[in-house]
Amino acid sequence: MARAGFRRNSKNIGRILKTVDAPLKAAAAAIAANIDDDQLVRVDEYVTDRKVVGIVVAADAQARDGVATKAASAAGISPGKP
């Protein structure tokens, strides 16, 4: 339920979300650094309605060993908790 007197400005919120990239890049770098050197890892950056940084690993490595999940945990990042 919206509070009285509050109006969301979606256009400006979108602009802000597209510019916040330093923390995303830092988190992605921390995760990528925790993935073993023998694993192929790629960091993708792109913009949708906000700035996005994705960590790409081989599907079989993630399915078998959970390398991305373990790397995120080692970096202090857990799913669903920014």
Q: Per the domain annotation, does 68 fall within a domain?
A: yes
Is 2 part of any domain? Answer: no
3-state helix, strand, coil in the chain (%, to 5): 45, 20, 35
Q: Is the pLDDT of residue 1 over 60?
A: no
Q: How far apart are CA 31 and CA 42, in angstroms?
A: 11
The residue range of the domain holding 68 is 10-74
pLDDT tens-digit series, residues 6-34: 788 888 888 887 777 788 888 889 989 98
Residue 81 lies in a domain: no
pLDDT at 23: 84
Structural domains counted in the chain: 1
Q: Is residue 82 part of a domain?
A: no
Q: Which two tokens stand for residue 48?
A: 């949708």
- Locate 63 and state its tokens: 């399915």
- The more confident residue out of 63 and 76 is 76
Domain annotation covers residue 1: no
Q: Is residue 4 part of a domain?
A: no
Assess if residue 15 is contained within a domain: yes
pLDDT of 79: 62
In a domain, 80, yes or no: no
User: Do residues 17 and 49 touch, judged by C-beta distance below 8 A?
Assistant: yes
